[in-house]
Structure 1
């Protein structure tokens, strides 16, 4: 009976046809730690057999084909992979701590509270929490004070704002006159008949009395 292998839910298998490698992740910050690449001696031997077989043929080539027929599956479970994973776990474990509060694996450098003996998610750092609360309160107070201040003084809210100049079509930056051509941003098309000033610039007839403008 083989020993159980920890780290079964927070690692990625980076193994390939040449050997084994695994990447372990912190379950709080997501930072990864990659184990050293361990070359597979059996796969290397098969590669040598294939190379010799391609050169000499005959019985040696038959041996290389026999080696290929013996499927050494690195994509699924195997004794060799378990051995490589145990070695990787032993290599990487000093960089992790398992929290007794949430049972997750945390990196020891960024996400572990040494004073309490739990992860920072279960037992946050007091100084970090105070700093976070202060920053949150400061942000809320800035928004509250910004809402209390009158930001509309000096802005003409009676005249419909124009985003482009009616005369030249340039982008308008506010004000009463275009900064590109000097034309009025709110030209008045006053009717000579009834005195209506609500006609659109360029209109031919008054929208109140129908007189020609």
Structure 2
């Protein structure tokens, strides 16, 4: 029997290709010193970072994109020590991030099996293919639109309320450990996404209909 009734997906790095690949291309294209980026990310996004870092405020919509870009660029350096131009830096950072067709196909499979499927995403001001996700995913909970962010319990509770499904019947899928742990602390099942095959395999253990669909496709 099916063990879950709904799935909540993260967006960047789950329904898209790996964010790290887009970041790597941006670092190379803008000739950014990787250590300056890693140092800033650790200070602003690590599990022991104090509340209210620029990343936290960007994700909840408290900090504008231009405001964040100015703070972010000030922490970065090029490999030859030059200052980094802030305008458009987030757009360039996410420019290589593309929807993963295999993961969107998995969303379609889950819907066809009768599950509720939603989105729960922290936004860095990056754009979403809204027409596509609004047609497939319900609810769509994006941090900057609701003023909350993962891994805070409140955003999981909001997503659950909009789903109308008990927490223990919902699987949350994310590519970041802190967000997976936050979901589990909120009572949801949670899965760390690595790639499509492993995530689909884990889902098939909870949703037997996926196995039947796979057999039908290969027959």
TM-score range, shorter chain: under 0.3
Q: Greater relative contact order: 1 or 2 (C-alpha under 8 angstroms, separation 6 or more)?
A: 2
- Look at both structures and tell me which one has the larger radius of gyration over its CA atoms: 1
What's the TM-score, normalizing by structure 1? 0.20
What's the TM-score, normalizing by structure 2? 0.20
